[in-house]
Structure 1
Amino acid sequence: MEKAVLMSLILISSMTSGCFGLFDDELVPDVDNSECTEFEYSGGIASWTFMMYISDSDLEYFSITDIVEMESVGSNEEVNIVVQFDRWDGHDAPDMDDESNGDWESAKRFYIIKDCYGSLSDHEIHSPPVDDLGEINTGDPTELVSFVEWAMSNYPAENYALDIWDHGGGVAGVAYEQSCPEYCYSFGNEPDKLTLPEIDWALDEITNGGQDKLDIVGFDACLMSTIEVVEVVYPYADIMLASEILEPGTGWDYTFLQMLIDDPDTTPAELGAEIVDSFVAQGIPENTGFTPSYALSMLDMSNAQAAIDSFKALNGLVDSTSIVSDLNQVRLHSIHVEPGDSSSAVDLIQLLNNLALFTEDPEVRSAAEAASSAVSAMIMKSEFVDGQSCILGICVLSDIDTTGMTGISVLFPSSESEWTTRSRGVTESLEESGWSEVMEDYYDYLEEEQVLFFLNESLIYDTADFDDDGSNDSISLALEIESIYDGVFGNLTLDVFNNRGYWIDGVEYEFEINSTEIVYLELWDVTYTHTEEDGPAELLRIEAVLSLVLEDGTQVLQEWVETPPEYLTHYLE
């Protein structure tokens, strides 16, 4: 016996914000150049050296914008602003092919001077390059070490801040090198990047094994405020700055550097707070228009060891308590740091608090409360602004909802396959923390409790180019569902996301199924119009989430699948 249903959805997608090359408006203050002078470096020890490391990617347009913001401030005898910027030959948003500033494709180093003749909107880099390194792999940690050691040697200071700028993926790493094919696709269609073990090695080299800590290590990138990243950074820095969610492509507002010019004695904590405040201020909505969500955290690395130890102590209860079954209950109510059920990370403090509230095991409750307290002690400042779409003063949520977020996440995918993919580069640290064993037992528990299944051999995917423009603009899929029991009620959601991870649209299907039946979803078609402003082609990702519906209406996750990456084009034209 077979049940069948046919669904279709036609989409016209206009992408709105972007860690993956999407864009939004950035505040553009006026620049007062009436008493402007261009500083020429002549040596000496400054109060601050701010170092920015930019990998070549499809965010190139925005990196140039941020350098122009830096030039609205410029270096002086107390503040050195240095940048290593590797450009690429690919396409990027919003112009799709940024040919500005000579359109070079190599890596250049800059000592940023104040631009007395330009403006924040002219998109022109005024500072002459100090060095041209040729084409490099910014995903190679030796390149990061080389840049920082060069900056510290040539522009010494009492305080150092390192800012790694580019795409970020939390435990997956940061600074994606998209100069294909030389350095891309080390894992199929994934570009090379700085993995967490590589960042650990690089920071160890830079700081002489942590003896000469950096004042600030920041990530102007998506999803880098995780407990796993903290484990890497804390031996080598006093403060870490990172976002728990996806960042808009425009990144930080680098006019915050004026704070150092005005007061070279600014402390690292004061500078960090200004970076956080100025960044989220870009997301404050007006009466009309669209703003994406903004989030940035400043974390105290002196409290990181206690947080890591307390989390490890909680994980150590895996063999003697109810922690795995407890996590199965609280995972459903976790706050995802990315839209959709496939979010690979959840807010850590909220997870710990819910665990302490739900569990009936006093040992788990005590350990969860202790871990929550210790992790919270790291957070010096964490600010959030929800994205909104406003027309005539009427606003609705337009981006990820940050309600309840605390500023730091932990890797906790809903499916074992996603865990395997995401954790492959950090297995050693996850084993040391004990979280890896907890997750292994958790996914084993899910398998034992599973009632509904996708028939994997039935999954069918196809793409098409309906408008014959050379870029696929539709994705279709078909799948089947089976149950091991009779009279089972289920819920299936099919959602469409752009490659930033933001939900576009979706459908929901509720059904009853017996063990002798198959629910067949036949060719659910999703079509969208791809425009130049949308950025790289192949923007869609389809996610299918299968849940068991209990008598009280509670849904228990059973399985999750998404469109295989080979059907999506990442960065290639």
Structure 2
Amino acid sequence: MKALVWKFLVLVLVVFIMGQVGGSCSNCIDLLVVITSPTNGSTVSDMVELKASVVGSLASSVTRVEFTITGGPYPPSIFTAYPPSYSTDWDTTTFVNGTYSIKAKAYASGGTTRESPTISVTVNNDIKWTFMVYINGDNNLESVVQADLNEMMAVGSTNKLDIIVQVDKYQESGCWRYKVNQGTLTTLATLPEQDFGDPNVLLNFIDWAMTNYPASRYVLVIWDHGGGWRRKAGEAIKGISYDDHGSHIDTVELGNVFASISRPIHIVGMDACLMQMEEVAHQIMFRGYYLVASEETIPGNGWPYDDILQELKNNPNIELSTFTEKIVNHYVAEYPGGGVTLSSRILYSREVAYKANDLAHAIRNNQNAWGTVKEIISSTQRYYYSDYKDLYDFAKRLKDNGLIPTAIKNAAQAVMNAINNVVIAEGHNGTSMANSHGISIWLPHSTDQLNAGKAGYSLLDFAHDTEWDEMLDDLY
């Protein structure tokens, strides 16, 4: 009844404004915006349509409507909708349960703006998790597959948590889908031998798990060797999920997988080496909320799944960002001997890419500084592949160097600010990792390194969208 009353009031107001009652209207309002979905006072869950109606003499010139949602422990969130529908989606599962206020603001040509009345809604999601693990043990990591399965079985699935794995092994033909219960594995499917380096095999697993184990929050962990984006001369682009009986998933293919899934994955985890790169994040950003991965290599024992899953079992209502922070903390604590990194970052923001592009542009426009920039690249925090370097450390060294022009310094500071904005948690152990800040990037320090990688790099979205590769060409 409340929804019907609200819609009726909106209709009456629109009809009155447009002068359709009793003849023409000489003093019609120029612009009015009203939220039509969700309705005021309603309770919402899962994916919700945000929709507005705009009327008035300037309605046809409205270029966008911004919905601002306030409430909970978050800063205001802005969702933008465009004509003609002025509709967009709000995934309420990324917000804690509680009451939120929503206001719409319409932007018309000539700078005219109008705001809607504020409405209030209650988010009430019955939080359930599906924790998917794609375990490619069809290689020299086969010996540690069972150890990680044992860690998962130490916790097991609950009525709020489904732990679903697909496992391939080197010395056994076939692969298996399991539901991990406390102390046991329940076989869900036995499949013929699969090439876990085929992106379609990964996509099929994701779609199957999300269809058969629907949840309000999804985690996908890709478990295997990793190599960031990198390729060597004569090789395909290195990526993730290396199958010694088949191939591997390169970075472009990984992006295609994420573009093809039916709905976003809330947390993407890479229990694989060297995957916390801006180039990798940029390739998959529109189908995930958070990425948890390492700038450096990962020890064979990988993530401590017992500690990580216990967090979900103890508190299924945990916030997404808080859970990613817990993953980072448990992992770093697992390896006190040093030489490890792990970080959590926001995936759906392009801020780092934009600012990295601005930095590349500033460097290209200051040729007199190129020699100093190359010296700084050589001294920047590096990882197992020496042309993978920490982006924040590079920017900080530029900013702190007295020979660097102001334009580059300012752009470098903007990169540092952007990284601080998107990195949720970062941890590392060991003096060799001391200048790690959570995001690495390709920074070759020689012509040979550049030439070995540039052909593969040019295929990446990050290379298409920024001047980073052009900057490297200029430097070397």
Alignment partner for residue 345 of structure 2, among 284, 299, 313? 299
Q: Deviations over 1:271-317 (max 9, x none)?
A: 21111111111112xxxxxx352211010224x31111111112123
Aligned: 1:52 with 2:85 = no
Match of 2:436 in 1: 405
Alignment of 1:14-33 (within 5 A): none
The runs of 5 or more residues in structure 1 that have no matched partner are: 1-44, 90-103, 116-125, 184-191, 285-290, 387-399, 444-573
- Alpha carbons 1:197, 1:425 under 8 Å: kept: no
Alignment partner for residue 470 of structure 2, among 419, 432, 437? 437
- Alpha carbons 2:259, 2:284 under 8 Å: kept: no
SS of the equivalent of 2:255 reads: helix
Aligned: 1:245 with 2:291 = no
SS of the equivalent of 2:362 reads: coil
Alignment partner for residue 153 of structure 1, among 197, 200, 211? 211
SS of the equivalent of 1:194 reads: coil
Q: Deviations over 1:112-166 (max 9, x none)?
A: 1110xxxxxxxxxx31321122111111111111000000000000000010111
| Greater CA drift, 372-381 or 357-366 | 357-366
| Greater CA drift, 62-71 or 357-366 | 357-366
CA separation of 1:405/1:114 partners in 2, compared to 1, >3 Å: closer, same or farther? Answer: same
Q: Deviations over 1:305-349 (max 9, x none)?
A: 1111111112123542135333212123211122xxx61211110
Aligned: 1:215 with 2:266 = yes
Q: CA deviation at 1:77?
A: 1.3
Q: Residue 343 of structure 1 aligns to which amino acid in structure 2? A: S
CA separation of 1:368/1:274 partners in 2, compared to 1, >3 Å: closer, same or farther? Answer: same
SS of the equivalent of 2:128 reads: strand
SS of the equivalent of 1:171 reads: coil
Alignment of 1:392-541 (within 5 A): 401-428=432-459, 429=461, 430-443=463-476
SS of the equivalent of 2:427 reads: strand
Q: Deviations over 1:539-559 (max 9, x none)?
A: xxxxxxxxxxxxxxxxxxxxx
Q: Deviations over 1:402-452 (max 9, x none)?
A: 112111111112233333434543313324321111111111xxxxxxxxx
SS of the equivalent of 1:147 reads: helix
The runs of 5 or more residues in structure 2 that have no matched partner are: 1-125, 231-237
Q: Deviations over 1:21-64 (max 9, x none)?
A: xxxxxxxxxxxxxxxxxxxxxxxx86000001122221112222
CA separation of 1:132/1:422 partners in 2, compared to 1, >3 Å: closer, same or farther? Answer: farther
Match of 1:530 in 2: none
SS of the equivalent of 1:405 reads: coil
Q: Residue 128 of structure 2 aligns to which amino acid in structure 1? A: S
Match of 1:163 in 2: 221
CA separation of 1:433/1:241 partners in 2, compared to 1, >3 Å: closer, same or farther? Answer: same
- Alpha carbons 1:300, 1:378 under 8 Å: kept: yes
Q: Distance in 2 between matches of 1:257 and 1:223?
A: 23
Q: Residue 155 of structure 1 aligns to which amino acid in structure 2? A: Y
Alignment partner for residue 314 of structure 1, among 333, 353, 359? 359
Match of 1:197 in 2: 252
Match of 2:309 in 1: 257
SS of the equivalent of 2:256 reads: helix
Q: Distance in 2 between matches of 1:137 and 1:240?
A: 24
Q: Distance in 1 between matches of 2:457 and 2:205?
A: 25
Match of 1:16 in 2: none
Q: CA deviation at 1:178?
A: 3.1
Q: Residue 405 of structure 1 aligns to which amino acid in structure 2? A: S
CA separation of 1:420/1:360 partners in 2, compared to 1, >3 Å: closer, same or farther? Answer: closer
- Alpha carbons 1:46, 1:77 under 8 Å: kept: no
**TM-score relative to the length of structure 1:** 0.57
Match of 1:61 in 2: 143
Q: Give the aligned CA root-mean-square deviation in angstroms.
A: 1.8
Structure number having the greater helix percentage: 2
- Alpha carbons 1:217, 1:233 under 8 Å: kept: no
Aligned: 1:273 with 2:325 = yes
- Alpha carbons 2:357, 2:466 under 8 Å: kept: yes
- Alpha carbons 1:214, 1:237 under 8 Å: kept: yes
Q: Distance in 1 between matches of 2:180 and 2:447?
A: 46
Match of 1:350 in 2: 393
Match of 1:80 in 2: 162
- The percentage of aligned residue pairs carrying the same residue is 27
- Alpha carbons 1:174, 1:221 under 8 Å: kept: no
Q: Deviations over 1:488-509 (max 9, x none)?
A: xxxxxxxxxxxxxxxxxxxxxx
Alignment partner for residue 111 of structure 1, among 149, 174, 179? 179
Alignment partner for residue 136 of structure 1, among 185, 194, 197? 194
SS of the equivalent of 1:153 reads: helix
Between the two structures, name the one with larger relative contact order (CA 8 Å, sep ≥ 6).
1
Q: Residue 250 of structure 2 aligns to which amino acid in structure 1? A: T
Q: Residue 113 of structure 1 aligns to which amino acid in structure 2? A: N
Match of 2:383 in 1: 337
Q: CA deviation at 1:87?
A: 1.0
Q: Distance in 2 between matches of 1:435 and 1:405?
A: 20
**TM-score relative to the length of structure 2:** 0.68
